[in-house]
Each structure stands twice: as structure tokens, then as C-alpha cells.
Structure 1
């Protein structure tokens, strides 16, 4: 990590009076942190804008002479990525069965349709899609790998950000400047997952592995216990007992403290092929737009029913689970949570693969609490013992903002978790910065696409009007927004969200500080409403 003495000296040097001419161009117009789904999307949007018009600085409100100098010295954008490759989540997670939990038609970028017939795409396919997109839009050459942003400092004097970056390949710490920063790091810590300590776990003679750090674990013909009941656990169970894979566990137990809602979805969606087939009047592009709209509306419909008619949704989910488990001998109580649907995320499984695994007798679900680890497995509070050669702790994520980078505005440390989010894109009181968040109740990418389009509109507006800075402020002459308990991820009460409520930006009590989690209203807000309002403060 960055040495604190070095950091303090850098800050002091950065913010001393008149450190350098405010006319000095930034190294980059836009600095994008992270080369995952969001970072690549933002870069592709910038590339498209650049190709549609001759290159023009996004911040060229200066004289003709200064404009020429800025164009010559300030590059358009840079992506810095801490890991050795792009892909973000889909580069990090490699455990068996890793897949999306959203359909491919809405998971793909709107500017580059993903026409895969698979409903829930495999992790490796998603990474390939991101990489292919980056190559097609020529953003690969703009990525600097193994570069970790450790500190971001805004100076009102120079109207620029200074990023202190560690090059992990050389151990060098360097700094660069940018006019605008886009945080596209996601919301969790890539280095460590959430990993509670279990009593006497050091006595266990087998292997303990967290899915976030799955490294070619050898599980063939072994007994495996997976601790957890979220999407990761639901994915692992059928994958570990898949006889067609290179490895197949002898037996797998999903040990959960409490149940989760699960719904089966079709593994394939071939509607695009027949809707754009030989005898169809629709082109493939038209069919894609129609089906993508269908899927968006379906996702939103399911979510709204779950929120406004939870009893009906709960009854429907329980009915479907009973049908799936019929004849398996598995108690349906293992899939009947006490909470309402969408108070935590709903897990989708393709072609009932989880339930098929439970029918095979190679897998089971146990709802109980852990008393302690033993040398051969796990002793439960009920007195039962689960034998294991491998224990997988699918216990969730550890949340983190901006990849762990420290944030300063004019020398003042900024606590992201104490600030509100404006349109779920900008941060209260922080100039020239956007932080990308996707949906938790639909495809992550749907919201990312909208957020990127909003950032482009914002930058274009600033360029047109000659503004150099923009800052969202939660108080005007007539109104003051009140901070709410809900975070930018909504009222989701999943464990990883609850644990990190102090780390995540908060919502406000009114538009546009309240998070809608509604694609239709967000689309109107981010794509069509006027940029300038009473909450945004612009300066030249």
C-alpha cells in the first residue's frame, strides 16, 4: 500500500498555493478505473463519440491558443486496471459453473448485442464477450494493467484530479492528472472475500477454499461441503456433481443457515432465431430489440409484483419449488425463506440444474448452524456431523468502493459511505466524478449502459457551455435533501450489503437522489431529462 508519509507529502505538495498554472492541461480528459463490464462500456462510449465527430476536447473552454495546446498534450482517456487482464468479476471468479444471473440479451451491451441463445451465460463466455468488445472498439490500447489507483485528489485550483497509482509490475508509484474520473471498480474487494472465522477450523485436515480464490481445486471423487445459500452456492452444487465434467465430486452438501428463494429458468432462448427467421418480416436487429424489451419488461414486472404483492409471489415460488422437488425426498422447507421475495436477491438456476442434482442423491441441502469444525468435517448445532474432504466457504463478498482508493477533495478526506448518490451516478460534494452502479434487480449492464450515456451527455453539455467542473450538491436555496438509511444498492438486505452499509453511498429522500431500480424511469431520467438542474453546480 501507499506509504502514509509519502501520501501526506504528496497532498501537501499538491495543494500548496499556485502549485502550477491552472492552464496546464491534464494528462487525460477522462480516467477510467477498472476494466470490467462498466469500464469497458464507458471506454467504448467515449470511442463511439470520438468516431462520430472530429476529436475535440471535452473541456476546451479556453482560448484558441490554449485549445491547441490542450489537444496536443491531453489524451482523451485512460483505463487503469489493477489485475493482469480485463473482465473484472469474470476474470476473477473461476469456480466451477460460474455464470451470469441475468439473461444474455439484457446482459450484453446495448451498442453491441450479445446474440447467444444461452439464457444464463458462462463466465468464460462473458469474459470473451468483454474482450471482443474492447478489441472491436479499439480500447485495448488504452488499458494499463497491474496499475492500482491508491489515491484520488481533487484540486479546485487546477480543476483537475491527481491519481497516485502503483504499478505492481515494477513497484513504481506514479501520478497522473485527469479532468474527469469514472469509478468502474464495482462494489466489492477483489483481494479478499467475506470470510468469517469458524470455531476450531484450524483442526480441519482437508482443504478450505473461498470461491473468490478458487485455484484449480482438485475435488474429483471427494466429499465437499459448500457453506452458503446464495447464487454462488446454487451454481456450485450442480457443477461439482456434473458427471460430464473433468472432475466430479463423490457427494456435495449445501449447508445453509437459512433458505433462499430459487426459481428455474430455461437454459436456452431460441426466440431470436425463429423471430428473425426466413419467413419473418423482422430483421435480426429488430428481433433483438423486441426480445430485449420483452426481457426488460419481464424482469421489471417480476420485481414489481414481488415488491407490491409479496404474498402472491411467495406462493408462486413455493408452488414451483414443490413441483421441482417432487419425488426427491428433499424437504421444501429448505427453500422457504422467512423474508419476502427481493428483500434479498432471487437465485435463478437454468433448466432446474440444482433440483436435478438434488434428485440424483449426489447432493443434499442441510439447514442448520455450525457448532465447530472438526478434523474430518463440520459439527452442527443439531448434533449432526457433515464429513468433508473440502469445505467451500461461499459466505459472500466484502464490499469496497473505488477499489480501495483514498478520496480527497482539496485536501479533505471524503467518506464515500457518508455521501449521497445523485442519479446513482455522481457523488454528493465530489466534483467531476462518476461512480458506476448496475442493477441488483435486473441485469447489471442495463444500468451501466444508461449511466455511461448520461456521463457522455454531461461531458458534452459541459463542453458546449464552456464549463470545466460539475458538482452535485444536496442543498439549494429552497431545498435540502435528507440522507436515508438505504444505500445505492436499494433496500436489499443481503448479508454483504448489510455488512457494508457504512461503505456504500446513501440515497436521498427525493428525486433525483432516490434510487429507482426501474429501467423505464431511469432511462427517461438519464437519457432524456435536461442535464442542468437545481442540484448540479457548474463552473468555468
Structure 2
């Protein structure tokens, strides 16, 4: 017997959508387990607190980006960051989660000690001092990208004398009223920033190396608002959520099965917004829809800014930055007082935490995902990496629910170590799959650090929510792979298996 229990049963890293969701699920489904959320920032919200660029909003509808247990009440289903933060704040207060959050705590390292069945976690506080916590289970809700460093394409700004800003670190004092702005990039961030800045700037140019597939939809979901007016709130939310999940699933599969038809539909909607004489080449990528994530244009805001002459889209390659603007390789010059480098994010695994087991560093790229939630031969740890083709929270919800069931099984059986065991013999039989069937730059750049992926369950990070939800809920926890033990003698079998797997 250990002299004292760990500080917490579960340590949740990150007070964003994933971490708050796990805490809420624990309150409902694993209430006898203690938990603490550690958050490196001074506020909750994760992405929605970090990013402060103009127009910051969701690029998924909030009936699926919202939690399965908490209805989205706002009129707009495409919501801005303040509305999303209000939703999260309400949840942490109504469910008593806020007292469990420790802000200003950055996790540096986490070592699982098998003989104690607990994680020893080192943290850095806001004042630079170090502190230590222990927990039986570690739940990583730290997101998917590097909070400290965005992707740097290596631009040389040469003679350019204006302001250069990256959306991840937007300056509070940036005055762009009446200014000429060039936004480099064509992803979701650029598509959000351009129409928002165009309201006050002199002109905003979106400079893209390659176009992105875009689709427009109303920011308000008329069906959702109608249902909420005539039905009980939770029932209306469930119906809308089901509708939107099915529509997203169908549209993704349609894009993969009939890409030419989807291209025609997307072009037709853009033509309706910009007029028949629009520059079709600027909105025709060299890849099929949903080979990269589609960019949402709510209420045609980008197209309206272009049509009004407040914004434009230019396709080209940068030759150099000059005094007063950007010179392209074809000789064109784009005047700029401000350059916004919306060039993307850097992927990060496990929040860049130095994870180890009994002092041995864990190399995530050498381990397989287990049910998109845990990792091969890594005890008492779960993570959230959301869907690329659907809302992040859909995975966060099913992973939280699954981990709560695992925790309750551990409590019922008196076990304290849970491990998805993969022997060398079994691993040799696995056929590996590309972990991400997406061509997006940030995905391709980050593949080398990502965990392994099998072509089939359970050693897989799947990209089909409806399948995952059913399997995570209905497949038995005792599947012959997930092994529950205690430290000491009755862990001998698993210890032998893990040792053989090293």
C-alpha cells in the first residue's frame, strides 16, 4: 500500500473545450473521482481566448462544436469568440468546475511511476516558480498546435517598413483604419480576417499561393431557431445537432465520392454572391473539396467585401517585400501598410509536455493510437485530437464519455493502472495507414511527430464520427487489449508484456 494517495485521481491539462468537457463529463459520469484542471493561461477557453484577431469566430456550427450535454442558446450558430467564451464560462460556473481550475500553471513534464500507479507532474507557475502534482490518470486537452510558436515560412521582410503581425499574436494597439492591408494566406484565419478588417481598412488584399475551396452559409440556422421556439430547449438542440452531424457527414462523403458535382455546387454559390463574371480561377484549388478543410464564409461576408471593392483576392508568389508593399514574381506590386501573415499553425503532440514512463521518455510517433483516445503501451493517459472533417467537440465528447467509463471500471474493480497493451507480435501484423488523409500544409508538416495509425480499429485515429460514437459507446471495455492491473505482483503479466514491447 502507498503511504498516501495522489493529489488527484485525474489531472486535466488545458481549460479549453476539451478540458472543460472532460470535467463536465466527470461530474455526471465519474463523480467519485477527484480532478484538477491546470491551465497555462490566465483565462479559460484555450483557442478562443488566445486568438484576438478581428472577426475571430468558429468555422463549425455551434450545434456540433457545442457539447452534447449543453444546448447552444445563441441565435447565431456561427459564433464569435466572445459568445463561445460566454458559453464555456456559463458551463464552468453552473457545474461547479471553476474552483477546480488552477490558472497560470504550465505543465513541463509528466512521469508515470508504475510502482506507485501515479503521474508525477512538474509545472511552472506564472511567476516562474516550479510546483509538483501527482495524479493517477492524465487527460490531455491541450489542443493540437504550438501555443508558443506559429508556423514561420521564413519570409525576409527586407525593406518593408510597415507593421507585420501574425494572427496568433495579434497586437492590441494595431490601428488599420484607412490602411492598405495584405493578408498572406487563404485558410480559415485569412477568410475570417479579410472581411472583418475590410470594414475599416482602406483596402484588404488576400494574397494566396493557391486557392481554397469556400462555401457560404447563413450565420443563423433558421431551422434551429424555429425548433427552439416551439420545442423544449434540449429536444430542439438534439434534433438540430443530429441534423447538422448528418448533413456534414453526407457532404463530406459526397465530396469524396462525387468531387466534380461538389465543385459545381460550390462555384454556383460563389457566382450567386459575386456575379457571373467573378474570377473563377481565384476560387478553384488544384485539389478536390475536403482534401483540405473547406473554408466557411458566413453570410457571404468575404464575397460582399470583394463585391463592394473593399477586399480583393490575388493569386501569386512573393518575390520580395519592398518599401510600401509586396512584389510578386510576375511583377505585380501590392501596396501595404500592414502585412498579416496568416500562414498557419505548427502541430504539437501532447502539449509539448515531456512525457515519460518510469523515467523513460515516450516517443509518441512510435506508438499507435488506441480508439483515437489512448496510446499503445502507455498507461493511464488519454488525449483529445478532434476531427479534421467535423467539429472538434464531437471527439472531445466521446473520448470524455469513454474515459469516464474506464475510470468507473477501475473504481469497481479496485485497479489503478489501465493500459492498451500491444505486443511486438501483434504490432508486426498491423497494416499502417496515413494518419491524416488531408493535404493541408500544417498537417503535412506535422506528420513526422504524430502517433502511428492502423487501417482498422482499435489502433486508429478515425475520421468518421458516427462510426466512432457507436463503437466507443457499444464496444466492451474489456476487449482483450485494454488491461486493468494494480502495481506490484498482480501487474506481473502486463509488466512482462510491456517489457517485451520496448
Q: TM-score range by the shorter chain?
A: over 0.9
> Which of the residues 201, 205, 216 maps onto 1:253?
205
C-alpha change, 1:455 and 1:514, in structure 2 (3 Å) is same
C-alpha change, 1:50 and 1:417, in structure 2 (3 Å) is closer
With normalisation by structure 2, the TM-score equals 0.93
CA distance in structure 1 between the partners assigned to 2:298 and 2:228 by the alignment: 24
CA distance in structure 2 between the partners assigned to 1:222 and 1:363 by the alignment: 12
CA distance in structure 1 between the partners assigned to 2:427 and 2:178 by the alignment: 64
- Structure 2 equivalent of residue 451 of structure 1: 399
Q: What's the CA shift string for 1:499-521, capped at 9, x where partnerless? A: 11112222113211233322221
Question: Which secondary structure does the structure 2 equivalent of 1:500 belong to?
Answer: helix
Question: Which secondary structure does the structure 2 equivalent of 1:463 belong to?
Answer: helix
How many residues are paired up? 485
C-alpha change, 1:528 and 1:405, in structure 2 (3 Å) is same
CA distance in structure 1 between the partners assigned to 2:427 and 2:196 by the alignment: 53
What aligned pairs does 1:117-132 form with structure 2 within 5 A after superposition?
117-132=75-90
> Which of the residues 119, 124, 144 maps onto 1:161?
119
- Structure 1 equivalent of residue 472 of structure 2: 526
- Structure 1 equivalent of residue 372 of structure 2: 424
Question: Which secondary structure does the structure 2 equivalent of 1:349 belong to?
Answer: strand
Question: Which secondary structure does the structure 1 equivalent of 2:448 belong to?
Answer: coil
- Structure 2 equivalent of residue 207 of structure 1: 163
Question: Shift in Å at residue 478 of structure 1?
Answer: 6.1
What aligned pairs does 1:256-267 form with structure 2 within 5 A after superposition?
256-267=208-219
- Structure 2 equivalent of residue 37 of structure 1: 17
Question: Shift in Å at residue 141 of structure 1?
Answer: 0.8
> Which of the residues 237, 241, 246 maps onto 1:297?
246
CA distance in structure 1 between the partners assigned to 2:20 and 2:236 by the alignment: 26
CA distance in structure 2 between the partners assigned to 1:503 and 1:483 by the alignment: 19
With normalisation by structure 1, the TM-score equals 0.87
Gap runs ≥5 in structure 2: 487-502
Q: CA RMSD in A?
A: 1.7
Question: Shift in Å at residue 376 of structure 1?
Answer: 1.2
> Which of the residues 109, 117, 120 maps onto 1:151?
109
Question: Which secondary structure does the structure 1 equivalent of 2:244 belong to?
Answer: helix
- Structure 2 equivalent of residue 222 of structure 1: 179
Please, which moves more after superposition, 154-163 or 512-521?
Answer: 512-521
- 8 Å CA contact retained: 2:53, 2:170: yes
CA distance in structure 1 between the partners assigned to 2:87 and 2:186 by the alignment: 28
- 8 Å CA contact retained: 1:481, 1:508: no
Gap runs ≥5 in structure 1: 1-20, 58-75, 243-247
Question: Shift in Å at residue 151 of structure 1?
Answer: 0.4
Q: What's the CA shift string for 1:374-403, capped at 9, x where partnerless? A: 121111011111110000000000111222
Q: What's the CA shift string for 1:268-324, capped at 9, x where partnerless? A: 1132343354xx5x4332222111111110011111111222222222222322332
- 8 Å CA contact retained: 1:28, 1:77: yes
- Structure 1 equivalent of residue 48 of structure 2: 90
- 8 Å CA contact retained: 2:9, 2:135: yes
Structure 1 residue 195 corresponds to structure 2 residue 152: yes
> Which of the residues 238, 243, 247 maps onto 2:195?
238
CA distance in structure 2 between the partners assigned to 1:185 and 1:479 by the alignment: 28
> Which of the residues 176, 181, 190 maps onto 2:138?
181
- Structure 1 equivalent of residue 8 of structure 2: 28
- Structure 2 equivalent of residue 13 of structure 1: none
C-alpha change, 1:415 and 1:81, in structure 2 (3 Å) is same
- 8 Å CA contact retained: 1:428, 1:474: yes
Q: What's the CA shift string for 1:34-83, capped at 9, x where partnerless? A: 000000011111122355xxx4x5xxxxxxxxxxxxxxxxxx11111111
- Structure 2 equivalent of residue 134 of structure 1: 92
What aligned pairs does 1:302-381 form with structure 2 within 5 A after superposition?
302-326=251-275, 330-381=278-329
CA distance in structure 2 between the partners assigned to 1:483 and 1:146 by the alignment: 42
> Which of the residues 407, 423, 433 maps onto 1:475?
423
Q: What's the CA shift string for 1:221-257, capped at 9, x where partnerless? A: 1000000000000011110112xxxxx0000000000
C-alpha change, 1:134 and 1:377, in structure 2 (3 Å) is same
- Structure 2 equivalent of residue 539 of structure 1: 485
CA distance in structure 2 between the partners assigned to 1:82 and 1:103 by the alignment: 27
- Structure 1 equivalent of residue 447 of structure 2: 501
C-alpha change, 1:260 and 1:177, in structure 2 (3 Å) is same
Question: Shift in Å at residue 483 of structure 1?
Answer: 6.1
C-alpha change, 1:156 and 1:390, in structure 2 (3 Å) is same
CA distance in structure 2 between the partners assigned to 1:261 and 1:474 by the alignment: 40
